[in-house]
Structure 1
Amino acid sequence: MTTSRLLFPFLVSALLAAGAAVAADGLKKVDGLMVDGAGKTVYTFDKDVADSGKSACSGPCAKLWPPFPADAAPAAAPYSVVTRDDGTKQIAYKGKPLYLYSADQKPGDRTGDGFKDVWHVVKD
């Protein structure tokens, strides 16, 4: 058996894993919490209805809680993409749109957790 045949299953696995990372737009889990590629904490909003395909946070809300943007890659489960009222795309996790919090200044900050009892850090 040639080396390329031996490596093929590993290459396929690596490509699939890379595709999943792209679909999640740089999201990852750190110490049980979801963060973006820069290590900033990611949140959900209780007023968003899972799997509705909509965000309940716009205008001044979206300035304080910027939507987590989706890139051109299609999202793979458990991620999906929500089209916002302004036409921009936002990543959702398990059907709930994701947000950052403008007051979080550095990686690891999670000052928005529990904000007004409707904003929560994404945990798995």
Structure 2
Amino acid sequence: MFRCIVAAAAIALASGHALANGHGGGDSPPPPKPEATTAPAKVVLTKQGPKLVDLKGMTLYYYERDTTGKTSNCNGKCTESWVPLAATTDAKAVGDFTVINRNDGSKMWAYRYRPLYTSPADKAPGDANGNAMTLQWRIARPGD
């Protein structure tokens, strides 16, 4: 008799869980989370005020001749002195960051529709040596 009660209790516990979920398969897995898109840059505070840096901490710049918000005017030899902040082919806009198509078919990041670049003159995170090279290049700042 005791074995019958134990067996009945075990069956009741097992079937009760299945009946509670309505399908008998246990808990269903959670729905997939949407992919989190990471911004290609961040803001850092300096003595000269806030500025944008890439994810490695290198200062980002914009070119004053980039005015349309759809293309970059720094192509060919210009990219030897100013390196476009590359975006992957499947990159999507996130916040104030957009993706711009380049003349060579590659993609690059822009901030508030201004293409972003790094300078080879900057050797370490925090350097801002590119700013002094020409007046047409400016440090990218969150207020720009």
Give TM class, smaller chain.
Answer: 0.7 to 0.9
In the alignment, structure 1 segments of 5+ residues that lack a partner are 1-11
CA distance in 2, matches of 1:112, 1:34: 14
Alpha-carbon offset, residue 114 of structure 1:
4.3
2:77 maps to which residue? 60
Q: State the structure with bigger RCO (CA 8 A, min sep 6), 1 or 2.
A: 1
Alpha-carbon offset, residue 90 of structure 1:
0.5
Alpha-carbon offset, residue 64 of structure 1:
0.9
- SS at the partner of 1:113? helix
Root mean square deviation of aligned Cα: 1.7
Q: Deviations over 1:49-103 (max 9, x none)?
A: 142x110001111111010011233012311111000000000111110000011
CA distance in 2, matches of 1:50, 1:102: 25
**TM-score, normalising length from structure 1?**
0.77
Larger radius of gyration: 2
Task: Point out 4+ residue stretches in structure 1 off by more than 2 angstroms.
Answer: none
**TM-score, normalising length from structure 2?**
0.67
1:101 maps to which residue? 119
In the alignment, structure 2 segments of 5+ residues that lack a partner are 1-32
